[in-house]
Chain A
């Protein structure tokens, strides 16, 4: 009887195809929404693992989280380097990881940070080693895969966070010293360098006192004297990196080819505040890069892990009230973001189910018409020996076949569209959406759509089941 149902569907192939298409569009939409919301939620959770608090420049807390944790938005600005010591000195803080943003390589963000940032995501080296000196870079797995950069190769970052428009830092090539194994987190899409590398690339003079923050979780046990290279060491370092001219007074942007950065339009870009590109409303530092005090080393944000719950009670309010910085809690902001997005997603999901119901209604109308049109043939089937259940099953089978085909096609279409979106749209790539990921709830969608097909076929099938065969034969013969 399944063959007969298929034959009937083939007989009116256009109508059948349209019904399949309608259902597949509904399923595709639901699959896309499901994967988008589920993967985004998972991603948010994974990327924020171990980060209790993010401290950054005043502005939108959500923007701070998005830029510093998920790396999908522009930073709110920069904060003074001294904030690291401020937080590391707090007994309620277990770990402070600095994040300095400002450049990208082929769209992948270059993050000035410390080794502990990779440890945050349990990132392990697939090749090479972690960076130990300036201009050394460690690539996330996706970066290496998509750019083709291999161990030992040099690359040049571009100013800005989203492409090559900001101009390349030709004079500061970075060497790939390590490639991380995939983590399934934002780490896969990042290029890690030391904070000093970011400063150097942007011509920001600094001493190496920051280095003593690099190698510990708590940051309290470092021997500052042992790591304080002072001016001499600084000069040495800059010579090594061809930054001999990084003198505050004689900060020669021309020598660094910063003309390409359109400094006139983005004076803040090359100032410390512009290590990260601030939000548009971020006030430009007075005097821009021409003022020596504007070139003080800064970082974009600090990722904080509490040592105790007391930190959660005290630190955010202390930072927000008593400093020029803001503290944002990733869990709170992502919940807020998901809640905002949730309204739209719920609306779209409702539309998707509405589309599925319209598909079901279309199947119902098609089968009702078909059952009426071929009532004589169904009676003939009975005369040929089919029982009532077999005839009933033929019509139900038609509904199930259409719904199943629609569901399967919808699954393929949904994942196909996700793949297209992931390959074409940068935000989707940055979100790390995996088009091949299969959400268990997709099975529920498929089953519900098949159920719609069954329900749509029930009434036509029931009418045939209940039909008076003698009357049909009298009409049909």
Chain B
């Protein structure tokens, strides 16, 4: 059996006297699609920051695609994130000064993947916005921008794709489309998908869920 793409063991994190995680465990196998559910303040964003290497836990280990994050320097964590992880945010989607195509090309460059315009166009075609390749982000609708963000995240061929509230700003129709798109493109790219959200609509698309309830221990649904 292949080793997990994401493995979190005995994770502890506190902000002052406020305990966020206490012996948190999580394991995601390659190609898994998992929801990380929980209300605001439940620790979803903290978990994303920990997995992305932006935060260091008080204790415990985080391993991404076989590389342990714990104990790495900030620059080494940056490098690991660059190679293995892509994050899609709710509103922070693209660099405004660049066209959609340029955003994807930049993502390729920053992640160390060879710049490949054909691949960029193929990906834009996969998310259905190939005709908008040369548009600036401000010229796109919310749904189009989120599709572009998905393409931007996947162009770097990450092992782990994290989506932070990817559908919260979208209406039902668009939320469903984006969720389907996320699943399809992640499948196509062979990426493991972790979606952090409080949007229960996504349960229809991604049945596997982890619920963060009391800022303490995750309960597998």
A residues near B (Cβ < 8 Å) are: 3-4, 7-8, 10-11, 374, 376-377, 379-388, 390, 469-470, 473-474, 476-477
A10 contacts across to B, CB distance below 8 A: 97
Answer yes or no: B92 CB below 8 A from chain A CBs.
yes
B110: interface (CB < 8 Å): yes
Per a CB cutoff under 8 Å, which of B54, B156, B165 touches A385?
A: B156
A3: B residues at CB distance < 8 A? 102
Question: Can you identify 29 A-B contacts, CB atoms within 8 angstroms?
Answer: A4-B95, A7-B97, A7-B102, A11-B97, A374-B96, A377-B92, A379-B92, A380-B89, A380-B93, A381-B95, A384-B110, A384-B156, A385-B110, A387-B78, A387-B79, A388-B74, A388-B75, A388-B78, A390-B110, A469-B54, A470-B49, A470-B54, A470-B55, A473-B45, A473-B49, A473-B89, A476-B89, A477-B92, A477-B164
Q: How far is the CA of A101 from the CA of B13 in the complex (A)?
A: 95
How many angstroms between the C-alpha atoms of A126 and B45 in the bound complex? 84
User: CB of B174 within 8 A of chain A?
Assistant: no
- Asked whether A473 and B92 contact (CB < 8 A) given A384-B106, A387-B75, the answer is yes
The tally of residues in B whose CB lies under 8 Å from a CB in A reads 34
Nearest to A382 among chain B residues (CB) is B78
| Complex Cα spacing A8 to B136, Å | 12
Q: Is the CB of B111 within 8 A of A384?
A: yes
Query: How far, in whole Å, are A108 and B131 apart by their CA atoms in the complex?
Result: 69
B147 in the interface (beta carbon within 8 A): no
Complex Cα distance, B102 from A430, in Å, reads 55
Specify which chain B residues have a CB less than 8 angstroms from the CB of A385 in the assembled complex: 78, 81-83, 107, 110-112, 156
Chain A positions within 8 Å of B49 at CB level: 470, 473
B90 interface hit (Cβ, 8 Å): yes
Closest partner residue, chain A, to B137 (CB atom): A377
B126 sits at the interface (CB 8 A): no
Question: How far does the alpha carbon of A387 sit from the alpha carbon of B165 in the complex, in Å?
Answer: 24
> Which single residue of chain B is at the shortest CB-CB distance from A6?
B97
Q: Which residue of A lies closest to B105 (CB)?
A: A3
Interface residues of B in 10-50 (CB under 8 A from A): 45, 49
Contact indicator per residue, chain B 64-78, by CB within 8 Å of chain A (1) or not (0): 000000000011001
- The residue on A at minimum CB distance from B165 is A477
Cα A344 to Cα B76 with chains together (Å): 58
Query: Which residue of the partner chain A has the closest CB to B91?
Result: A477
The answer for the CA separation of A24 and B102 in the assembled complex, in Å, is: 31
Residue B87, interface by CB 8 Å: yes
The answer on a CB contact under 8 Å between B107 and A384 is yes
Query: What distance in Å separates the Cβ of A130 from its nearest Cβ neighbour in chain B?
Result: 69
Contact of B90 among A11, A382, A386, A477 (CB under 8 A): A477
Asked if residues B91 and A7 are in contact (CB atoms below 8 Å), the reply is: no
Q: In the complex, which residues of chain A have a beta carbon less than 8 angstroms from the beta carbon of B98? A: 4, 7
